[in-house]
Amino acid sequence: MNIDFSDELKQLRDVARRVLGDRGTIAAARRVIANGSGIDREFWKSIAGLGWLAATIPEEYEGLGLGGLSACVLAEELGRAIAPIPFASSVYLATEALILFGSDEQKGRYLPKLASGEIIGTFAAVEGNGRFFDVPSRTRAEGGRLSGHKSMVPDGGVADFAIVSVRSGPGEPSLFVVAMDADGVSRTRIATIEPACYCTSMDFAEAPAEPLPQAIGPEAIARLVNRAVVMMAFEQVGVADAALQTAVRYAKDRYAFGRPIGSFQAIKHKLADVYVSLELARSNAYFGAWALQSEAEEIAVAAPSSRVAASEAAWFATRENIQTHGGMGFTWEADCHLYYRRAEFLGLALGGTQEWKRRLIGALRKQESAVRSWA
């Protein structure tokens, strides 16, 4: 099993890190928070010009055809930079849904515009109970019209269309495409801990919708979301790594009692624990990337394990970054809260840690039963 990236993808990572370092994305995130726009439009256009939005899209639809691993590489660097753009919603979810389940006509209509950054997509799955994988009960489609309600739609305020999960039969979910400017669609902004990429609730009143013809049944939804959480795990790893490096730099520069605070054992142990958590998350994310690229059945375990490890590492690293900075870490002027906000937002965007722990336990039990049946 080879879980390392190719030389080409490593070069893509290095280029992305340089570009994002020059871009000043932390300052951009602060501007987006201040103006409440939910997106840095100029940055979105610039990464579209670099081909990042087209990375996973097949070449016949004006993409680069680099596959899901390219999104993993870019996601880590965007997470490290706290980029204020809807990359996860539009690339991991909407674009992937169209690639996996769309008709040729739908792919031809949507994917080139997604690749160029002309349109932005999102994914609407959560209803009132907040559980990501429950079969929709409040959203139904009939005769090309969709009615219902979705809550906590990430980046719903800046999206041009949404991939919406609906109940299409007894216990059978499916996916529909709905334009945000269509009649019968209304959106309400929801305040979250991360104002740089806010959520919305969405109501549909017989809104025109078109089905993704190959997305029927819970297995199809699980395939899409498993791929998305692997990509998002890399973004969370990027957030955690950036928070750790920020804390390390501060520990080297901040003096107390005539010595850098990083020389004190308490700080050393604290940051060492963060490093261990980060490397555990990174190894799980690489396992998930291997399963994603090879389309292995192990993704049923790899996806939730990468999700759980990355969520916990991002939360732990960003919290300890604040603590390492002491009183300064709690101020608006310090950047610590930006990492913490993003970690919290990403940790809930595709279902919380407890939900994914239950899925991991279920997948491990299923795997154990399969092994015993072969014994």
Residue that has been written with the tokens 């690339």 in this structure: 91
H or E element that contains 271? helix 265-294
- For CA atoms 227, 232, 235, 241, give the dihedral sign: negative
Burial of 42 from C-beta contacts in 10 A (0-12 / 13-18 / 19+): exposed
| Per-residue pLDDT of the chain in tens (375 residues, 90 and over written 9) | 567 788 999 999 999 999 998 888 899 999 999 999 999 999 999 999 999 999 999 999 999 999 999 999 999 999 999 999 999 999 999 999 999 999 999 999 999 999 999 999 999 998 876 667 777 778 888 889 999 999 889 999 999 999 999 987 666 889 999 999 999 999 999 988 998 888 999 999 999 999 999 988 888 889 999 999 999 999 999 999 999 999 999 999 998 899 999 999 999 999 999 999 999 999 999 999 999 999 888 999 999 999 999 999 999 999 999 999 999 999 999 999 999 999 999 999 998 899 999 999 999 998 877 656 665
CA distance 325 to 344: 19
117 sits in the region (left: phi over 0; alpha: psi -120 to 50; else beta) called: left
What one-character DSSP code corresponds to residue 93? I
Q: Would you state the pLDDT for residue 137? A: 77
The dihedral formed by the CA atoms of 310, 314, 315 and 321, expressed in degrees to the nearest 10:
160
Percentages (nearest 5) of helix, strand, coil residues in the chain:
60, 15, 25
CB 140 within 8 Å of CB 146: yes
Q: How far is CA 227 from CA 92, 156, 212, 314, 345, in A?
A: 8, 20, 17, 19, 19
Q: How far is CA 121 from CA 53, 55, 164, in A?
A: 12, 16, 11
H or E element that contains 178? strand 172-179
CA distance 327 to 114: 43
Three-class secondary structure of residue 180 per DSSP: coil
Burial of 162 from C-beta contacts in 10 A (0-12 / 13-18 / 19+): buried
CB 251 within 8 Å of CB 262: yes
Q: How far is CA 92 from the centre of its chain?
A: 7
CB 347 within 8 Å of CB 353: yes
CA distance 93 to 163: 8
Task: State the greatest distance between any 2 C-alpha atoms of the chain, in Å, as a whole number.
Answer: 74
First to last CA, the chain: 23
What one-character DSSP code corresponds to residue 128? T
- Which domains are seen in the chain, by residue range? 7-119 (1.10.540.10), 122-216 (2.40.110.10), 219-374 (1.20.140.10)
- For CA atoms 110, 115, 116, 117, give the dihedral sign: positive
Phi then psi for residue 206, to 5 deg, are 50, 45
CB atoms within 10 A of CB 201: 18
Burial of 171 from C-beta contacts in 10 A (0-12 / 13-18 / 19+): exposed
Phi then psi for residue 132, to 5 deg, are -70, -35
- Opening angle at CA 183, ends 177 and 185, nearest 5: 60
